[in-house]
Amino acid sequence: MNGPTPRLEILADRIHDNARAIVAQCSDHGIQVAAVTKVLHAHPALLRALDDTGIAMLADSRLQNLRRIAETGSSLPTLLLRAPGRHDIDATVQLADISLNSSLITMTALSEAAVRAGTRHGVIIMVDVGDLREGVWPDHLVDVVSAAATLPGIDVRGIGTNLACYGGVQPSVENMTRLVHLRNLARDATGLELGLISGGNSANLPLMMSGDMPSEINHLRVGEAIILGRNTLDRSAWPGTRQDTVEVVSEIIELERKPSIPLGRTGEDAFGQHVTFTDRGVRLRAICNLGRQDVNPSDLTPIDPGHIVLGASSDHLIVDVTDSVSPVEIGTEVRFRPTYAGLLSTATSSAVWKGAATPQAL
């Protein structure tokens, strides 16, 4: 694909294959998959890639992304991953079939909005089993579920948890078994079915594949493993998936031989950091039209093995291209594979063009 730079190229066919592979793996363990679209800002190319893959629902943390999903006419249920703020209640009921919640105040507001809209809204009540992000503390769960069950217009679909995000706590037999136990306590206390137990995200896949995931866990929210083909516990390649699914493309706007060490007295850079430089002598340095406004340079890996990312200012990415495998000149496109964080940044940057690409174009 040729186009403006900087840009983010999405290889939809490869993401499609990744999604099918992970859905099949999860299905073998009785788990349905909510495909998380947020890292690509619910781009239409991603939504098309997820068609006909067997996913059970589309999930995102931002209402504007759920609106984009709605505009495609998708028939899949939608899940809001972040509890809505008070000004987003009506839009949540309009755009999400289900939302993750931990506050009875918020669920009460959702109940009122659902009644006004003449509809019903599903909730999965989140419980914190150790990662210390969102979730009711376990000893409050039964009370919260019992109260939510009385709210008109609300269907309490089940409970869930999140791991390996804020605290980095890994999914384990112990914390997943605890989640099942808490569901059973809430079920016994309320008489609700609480059929969904949403055990977590891509980080749960290794436990699932080991065969040690409790069989009652029947729902996962999977994003990075589908889109980047990564085991999120160590960023290794996930079995059955490809990792060459997205590329960040920039363009060389200056090409000069320069010393490796700045000349003169140095202090803080534009971002308040003291940068350490390695003296490699005089090198051929490319300045590309991509900056920290768009992505942290440490989140980019050059596809050309002869390129070295040296750093970036807000608007300029500096790359050592002395040992470039391919010829370089002004206007040459330089390609990178982003980390999850790098993909999130470039996908949400208004200055980075996004679009589908074909393998042949790459």
Residue pLDDT, tens place only, 32-66: 999 999 999 999 999 999 999 999 999 999 999 99
Whether the per-residue pLDDT at 187 is higher than 80: the answer is: yes
* The predicted structure's pLDDT at residue 274: 83
Q: What is the CATH number of domain 246-361?
A: 2.40.37
Q: What DSSP string runs through 81-95?
A: -SPPPGGGHHHHHHH
Domain boundaries of the chain, sorted by first residue: 12-232, 246-361
Which sign does the torsion angle of CA 252, 256, 260, 266 carry? negative
Q: How far apart are CA 164 and CA 167, in angstroms?
A: 6
Whether the per-residue pLDDT at 276 is higher than 90: the answer is: no
Around Cβ 144, how many Cβ atoms within 10 Å? 22
* The predicted structure's pLDDT at residue 111: 98
Q: What are phi and psi of 230, to 5 degrees?
A: -115, 145
Specify whether domain 12-232 bears CATH 3.60.10.10.
Answer: no
* The predicted structure's pLDDT at residue 266: 86
Is 354 one of the annotated active-site residues of the chain? no
Q: Residue 362: which pLDDT band, with cuts at 50, 70 and 90? A: very low
* The predicted structure's pLDDT at residue 267: 87
- The three-state secondary structure class of 273 is coil
E strands, 144-272, in order: 154-160, 196-200, 219-222, 230-231, 236-237, 246-258
Residue pLDDT, tens place only, 80-90: 999 999 999 99
Q: Which of 7, 20, 38, 285 is an active site residue? A: 38
Two structure tokens written together for 340: 């999850």
Whether the per-residue pLDDT at 100 is higher than 70: the answer is: yes
Whether the per-residue pLDDT at 361 is higher than 80: the answer is: no
Q: Residue 285: which pLDDT band, with cuts at 50, 70 and 90? A: very high
Whether the per-residue pLDDT at 8 is higher than 60: the answer is: yes
Residue pLDDT, tens place only, 233-271: 999 999 999 999 999 999 999 999 999 998 988 888 888
Residue pLDDT, tens place only, 313-350: 999 999 999 999 999 999 999 999 999 999 999 999 99
* The predicted structure's pLDDT at residue 309: 98
Note whether 32 and 58 are within 8 A (CB): no
For Cα atoms 184, 128, 56, give the angle at the middle one, nearest 5 degrees.
Answer: 70
38-42, 154-158, 182-186, 275-279: which range is least confident on average?
275-279
Q: How far apart are CA 116 and CA 91, in angstroms?
A: 12
